[in-house]
Amino acid sequence: MSPFDVYPLFDIEIVRGKGCRVWDSAGTEYLDLYGGHAVISVGHCHPHYVAAVSEQLNKLGFYSNSVHNSLQQQLAEKLGRASGYEDYSLFLINSGAEANENALKLASFHNGKGRVLAFKKAFHGRTSAAVRVTDNPAIQAPVNRGMEVSYLPFNDAGRVEDELRKGDVSSVIIEGIQGVGGIIVPDDSFLQALRKLCTRYGACLILDEIQSGYGRTGRFFAHQWAGIRPDLITVAKGIANGFPMGGLLISPEFKPVYGQLGTTFGGNHLACAAAIAVLDIMEKEQLVANAASVGTYLLDALRGLPGLKELRGRGLMIGLEFEQPIKEIRNRLLFEQKVFTGVAGANTIRLLPPLCLSREEAAEAVGRIRKSLA
């Protein structure tokens, strides 16, 4: 047997990491401006993280959700304090798609309605409801097409109200900043309008903060730039620095019903130990503030690069859209300049480095990006 060949791969194997650097099997060092797809939040192999996960593994790796697990309580309290959502509840799962799946389901249980409003270029994951609200028919199989979804233009509150007025919408789901779509930042006024409209028409507002959350934009959640409070917030990726985990933050208006949601692995002891370590490191090293200041420095330094059509983003979530396709630039960055980056569509490079990226590393990154454009 061999792995299902569903990913186009670079011919590189990463075998070691430290902070914002990784090394391949030949010993070559790379600057990681991608964080393994926005997953590495506190840096590769942070000593406190390694110690916390190792210590937990030596005590207990797993037991089921049918008994108390005080690590879940500890994590919920810490996350509530760090995010400003102390009055919300936390449901833990194993991935971003699962977080959105449960958010859509909980919203529908709550208000008894079935239609969902999503946005053009949205990406919410690959499980059945999550992929259905993802604006990409190429990754929706016929079995995914059951749920009723309308994809609306971004930043058009009038169109959202037209749909909500029909009275059948259960939830509106939106990314804090669209990631896969190309680092598209919603207008603050659009998020504020969504909040008001959802309340007025009895729909739940779901903020997918899987890529944009957990400090990445220089606030704990990207939607906090707009000063709104969604009904449901989904998190994953950086939450446990690479240990598979997702979370759903649930406003107090939702009452839990035994058995309505459930999971075997969600919130397991190892994942909680990893996620608690992440929040401890974020607090001690002030990584949200670091993402804000290093992100501002990076955005300023990247402005005016040759061939750059548009620079978008907030904090350490940055999109560089070029006039021409970026495949060659990205290859030069990886194979000549030894820098990992992400991509969105044909023309946009995505930067999603660990939140601990230093000013010096950011300056080095800009230098290497410039060289790849020469």
Smallest gap from Cβ 179 to ligand PLP, in A, equals 4
- Backbone torsions φ then ψ of 312, nearest 5 degrees: -130, 155
Smallest gap from Cβ 236 to ligand PLP, in A, equals 5
Residue 36 vs 43, nearer CB to ligand PLP: 36
- Alpha-carbon gap, residue 70 to 149, rounded angstroms: 38
The CB-nearest residue to ligand PLP is 96
Smallest gap from Cβ 70 to ligand PLP, in A, equals 26
Q: How far is CA 303 from the centre of its chain?
A: 25
Q: List the 89-93 sheet strands across, edge first.
A: 89-93, 246-250, 232-235, 204-208, 169-175, 115-119, 149-152
**What's the length of the chain?**
374
Nearest to 84 by CA among 184, 209, 243: 209
60, 269 Cβ separation under 8 angstroms: yes
Residues that bind ligand PLP (CB under 6 A): 95-97, 100, 123-125, 175, 179-180, 208, 210-211, 236
Tokens of 209: 């903060």
Residue 210 vs 318, nearer CB to ligand PLP: 210
Residue 317 vs 372, nearer CB to ligand PLP: 317
Residue 125 vs 295, nearer CB to ligand PLP: 125
Per DSSP, the three-state class of 111 is helix
Nearest to 176 by CA among 196, 164, 190: 190
- Alpha-carbon gap, residue 136 to 142, rounded angstroms: 13
**DSSP assignment, residue 76?**
H
Residue 101 vs 361, nearer CB to ligand PLP: 101
Smallest gap from Cβ 165 to ligand PLP, in A, equals 27
Smallest gap from Cβ 118 to ligand PLP, in A, equals 11
CB atoms < 10 A from the CB of 254, how many?
A: 18
Residue 163 vs 175, nearer CB to ligand PLP: 175
Smallest gap from Cβ 101 to ligand PLP, in A, equals 9
Smallest gap from Cβ 216 to ligand PLP, in A, equals 11
Residue 56 vs 100, nearer CB to ligand PLP: 100
Smallest gap from Cβ 336 to ligand PLP, in A, equals 27
Q: How far is CA 1 from the centre of its chain?
A: 32
Sign of CA dihedral 98, 100, 105, 107: positive
- Alpha-carbon gap, residue 116 to 309, rounded angstroms: 33
Residue 43 vs 244, nearer CB to ligand PLP: 244
- Alpha-carbon gap, residue 341 to 29, rounded angstroms: 14
